[in-house]
Amino acid sequence: MAKRKGDMRPQNNQAADLPKKSDLETLRDEKGKIGWIEVPGEILFTWNGKPWSSRPKKLMLLVAFYVFFFLLSLFLFPDLGLFLILIPLLLFGSASAHLVNSHYVITSEGVYWKNFLNQMFKPWIGIEGFIFENEMGELFFEKGSIRSRIQRNMPIYYDSNREQVESLIREYHTKAWAGIKERILANEERIRAEVVAKLDKQEKGEEK
């Protein structure tokens, strides 16, 4: 039987000679995408974050506040009609990252995040900093692009795996930024030296 296009099964009993695709690598399609986002690098870890399991009391207060705000809007602006439907949609959209489960994939090149409304991949150099707390963590983006100004951070909800998640993020973020920080420091020293030289030149001119 002829081998079908795209059929990667070995012929002539050569199965032992071909490497097996890891379970993690099956997350990506043949084009290296998860969903419609290209996710480069070696896949290191993946998990599902569950906000309601991480901090249920705070989220209950958040939902209660949103319900109160919506009811208050109904009372104050009863003539808005269909526009009132937009209020809960906007509220849900703004807080969806903290209300519905998210899927995360950490690779050697960055972090992939997907939930009900969001799907993105952030390379390590696109992440300026991070914090890790008991309930959740956050990755803060650089402000160099328009999207980074709109979506400024990525919430990280753990699933009893904080140590592994935090360790991987710290390790690969440090590696990616090591050379960049060295160049920044080198430029700072060069600029400082130029400023000092100009000041010395001005001072000598004033003395004359």
Q: Which two tokens stand for residue 173?
A: 């973020």
Contact 111, 157 (CB under 8 A): no
Residue 131 confidence (pLDDT): 94
d(CA 81, CA 25): 49
The pTM assigned to this predicted structure is: 0.68
> For residue range 29-76, what is the model confidence (pLDDT) as tens digits?
888 889 889 999 999 999 999 988 887 888 788 778 878 877 777 777
DSSP H helix total and E strand total for the chain? 5, 9
pLDDT at 146: 54
Give domain limits for the chain.
31-50+101-200
CATH 2.30.29.30 fits 31-50+101-200, yes or no: yes
Match 């807080």 to its residue by tokens: 95
Q: Provide the mean pLDDT of the chain.
A: 77
CB 110 within 8 Å of CB 121: yes
Q: Summarize the confidence of residues 3-21 as an average pLDDT.
A: 44
From CA 151, how far away is CA 182, in angstroms rounded?
A: 28
pLDDT surpasses 60 at 20 = no
In our burial notation (b when 16+ CB lie closer than 10 A, e otherwise), range 93-129 reads eebebbbbebbbbbbebbbbbbbeeeebbbebebbbe
